[in-house]
Amino acid sequence: RKEVEQDPGPFNVPEGATVAFNCTYSNSASQSFFWYRQDCRKEPKLLMSVYSSGNEDGRFTAQLNRASQYISLLIRDSKLSDSATYLCVVNMRGGSQGNLIFGKGTKLSVKP
């Protein structure tokens, strides 16, 4: 089982749609979880951290399921500007430095 796995997509959705991505991780000791956004040929940028109780930032909702070892990202009312690749990031050593593992990303394309 790969350390961090994501559905590569692409997810092609119309404007205004709701879309959800999942990410599974292999290390049950993982403590920190994040979603990053990467535009084409650009660097990744932090979208949001994922907290145990789940958290929301505007149209974006992140959730953590420790029992099943996955995190999710829900985007409501999709905008054209949401088109990007979304990267799941997990700290795989339960707290040690230098072991933030990235998934390969899920590509989202929002169409007019």
Which residue among 54, 69, 72, 102 contacts other proteins (CB under 8 A)? 102
- Closest separation in Å from C-beta 32 to other proteins: 4
x/- mask, other proteins, residues 22-41, rule CB under 8 A, reads ----------x-x-x----x
Smallest separation, CB 15 to other proteins (Å)? 28
Under rule CB under 8 A, residue 98 binds other proteins: yes
Give how many residues touch other proteins by CB under 8 A. Answer: 23
Contact 58, 42 (CB under 8 A): no
* List of residues contacting other proteins (CB under 8 A): 4, 32, 34, 36, 41-46, 49, 87, 89, 91, 97-105
